[in-house]
Structure 1
Amino acid sequence: MNLLYFDIIGRSVAVYLFMLLAIRLTGKKELSQLNTADVVLILLISNSVQNAMVGTDTSLAGGLIAAAALFLLNYLLKKWLFKNEKFRRLLNEKPEILIHNGKLDFDMLSRLSITNEELQEAMREHGVERYADVKLGMLESDGNISIISGSGTLKHTQFKRKHSHKTLGTLDN
């Protein structure tokens, strides 16, 4: 195999790992709620890293090798995530409680930058009108907000916070 192709594979792996880290650091909320600016950002990033992956090789073979390297790396990463819990915890964020028995966790909402409008939209999608009707509202590891409603109460689970955050004053019941 041509030495240039090994260079393309190495560059593709480096870009993949950078993008994985960048997405992990920007937060899980960004994954599920793409707006116009996010789509534009994704398109610009893909265009900007293309040359970083293939260098001066703009041939079909160079592009296919870069794509194959990305697919293979993604496959191997998913296998490793499945088998290695420690790595999975490092890479994947844990779900966070946003609402518990109708009470909002303003510190968590502020830390995750979840607006009142986003929370109300998730509630409407689940057919819930008021915060008081929410038994449990969670930001899932994939960035979606899950809402469980109904009568009865859930047992309280306390999570220790490492940092204190300002509260989000725009959220009200």
Structure 2
Amino acid sequence: MWHDLLSVQVPIAEKVLRTVGVYALIVILFRLSGKRGLANLNTFDFVVIFLLSNVVQNAVIGNDNSLLGGAIGATTLVAVNAALNRWLAVNERAVRLVEGKPTTIIEDGRLLTGALRHLALRPTEVEHAVRLQNGDDISMVAVGRLEPDGQLVIVLKPSEQNATRADVQRLETRLEAIENFLASLATDPGHHPTES
């Protein structure tokens, strides 16, 4: 029994190469499938992900069902993923190569239908994402971009943005000046500050 658990039935170098190859293939497939694959998963996307793990399982493990063989494959996957993430963290060119560039899908309150078609997004999906980010309607959006990681980033039109603390502070200062002016008029009705 212990022999079967610990005896690697495929050469270790082959197991590592198989794992790296399958990892690279999956990264390329997700890159080619587009940005929506990671953030806006629908039912069909989940089906593909679940089936994908079964489809590539034998390509990773080969004819090896040993515990040690599985541990080598898992360690290789984690190490390759960590190395890729570190590379992407320090190399902007690698990020563009592996992840791509943002795509503008909303401009001045209008959906860019060509970009939506290219990304295989439905207008209802975009409308839902805008509502999740406190936009009531697409017409409120100045610019909306789908980032390489699949996240929709929107910038509301200035007239639609919430007030900032600085805006509130300016209003409080103006209100205080008006109150002071009115108070000075109440105490000296014959004096007008503009007369001095």
Bucket of the pairwise TM-score, normalised by the shorter protein: 0.7 to 0.9
Match for residue 60 of structure 2? 53
Is the contact made by 1:94 and 1:140 (CA closer than 8 Å) also made in structure 2? yes
Is the contact made by 2:131 and 2:137 (CA closer than 8 Å) also made in structure 1? no
Matched residues in 2 for 1:37 and 1:112: separation? 15
Matching of residues 95-106 of structure 1 within 5 Å:
95-106=102-113
Matched residues in 1 for 2:157 and 2:96: separation? 31
Higher helix fraction (1 or 2): 2
SS in 1 for 2:158: coil
Of the candidates 69, 92, 103, which is equivalent to residue 85 of structure 1?
92
Match for residue 160 of structure 1? none
Of the candidates 126, 142, 147, which is equivalent to residue 149 of structure 2?
142
Is the contact made by 1:138 and 1:146 (CA closer than 8 Å) also made in structure 2? yes
The residue identity in structure 1 corresponding to 2:144 is G
Find runs of 4+ consecutive structure 1 residues off by over 3 angstroms: none
- Please, what TM-score do these two structures have when normalized by structure 1? 0.80
Structure 1 residue 97 displacement after superposition: 1.3
Aligned-residue CA RMSD in angstroms?
2.0
SS in 2 for 1:120: helix
Paired residues, number: 153
What CA deviation, in whole Å up to 9, does each residue of 1:122-167 have, x standing for no partner?
12112323222112211112102122224349xxxxxxxxxxxxxx
What CA deviation, in whole Å up to 9, does each residue of 1:79-100 have, x standing for no partner?
2222333222111111111112
Match for residue 75 of structure 2? 68
| Amino-acid identity (%) | 37
SS in 2 for 1:56: coil
**Structure label with greater radius of gyration:** 2
SS in 1 for 2:94: helix
Match for residue 124 of structure 2? 117
Give structure 2 stretches of 5+ with no counterpart. Answer: 1-7, 161-196
Instruction: Report which structure shows greater RCO (CA 8 Å, sep ≥6).
Output: 1
Matched residues in 2 for 1:37 and 1:7: separation? 33
Is the contact made by 1:135 and 1:150 (CA closer than 8 Å) also made in structure 2? yes
Of the candidates 118, 121, 126, which is equivalent to residue 133 of structure 2?
126
Alignment of 1:27 with 2:7, yes or no, is no
The residue identity in structure 2 corresponding to 1:119 is V
Matched residues in 1 for 2:120 and 2:57: separation? 31
What CA deviation, in whole Å up to 9, does each residue of 1:66-109 have, x standing for no partner?
01001111111122222333222111111111112213222212
